[in-house]
Amino acid sequence: MVVIFVWFGIQKFTPYAADAIAPLIQHSPFMSWLGVFGVRGEAKIVGSIELTTAALLVIGSTVPVASALGAALASGTFLLTSSFVLSTPGITLTSASGFPIISTLLEQFLIKDVALLAACVTLLIGSLSLRSTA
C-alpha cells in the first residue's frame, strides 16, 4: 500500500497526472468542490493526501493509531476512486441486455480500486483490533 500511495501521490504533482484526474474530480459529487483550486491545485491536494497516507502507513508499523488513521485514509481514497466509475460519464457502456460493460482503459484501471479498498478495510479492521488490545 505504501508504494502505491507514494507512487501515485508523487505523480499528482505533474501536469500530466493533474490533467488526467481533472475529469474524474470534476464529475465527482464528493470531490468536485476541489475545482476551486484549479486543475494543478486539486491534484496537489490529492497528492498530498496520498503521501500523508503513505507516511501514516509507514509510521503505523510501530504506532497502532497511525496504522488505523492511515488505513482509514486509504479506505476513503479507494472508496472515492471506485465511485468515479459511477460518476464519470462515458467510461461505462451498457450491453443490449442492460448489464454494464467494463469498456474503457480508465474504467479497467479504476476497477482495481475495489480490491485495494478491500485490502485497506482489512488493514483498518486489523489496526483497530491491535489498538483495542493494546
Task: Give pLDDT tens digits for 89-124.
Answer: 888 777 788 787 777 788 888 889 999 999 999 999
How far apart CA 31 and CA 130 sit, in angstroms, is 32
CA distance 53 to 72: 9
pLDDT in tens, 39-93: 999 999 999 999 999 999 999 999 989 999 999 999 999 999 999 988 988 887 7
Phi, psi (5° rounding) for residue 101?
Answer: -115, 130
Give the chain's domain count.
1
Query: Which is nearest to 17 in space by CA: 59, 50, 53?
Result: 50
Domain that residue 99 falls in: 2-133
50, 3 in Cβ contact below 8 A? no
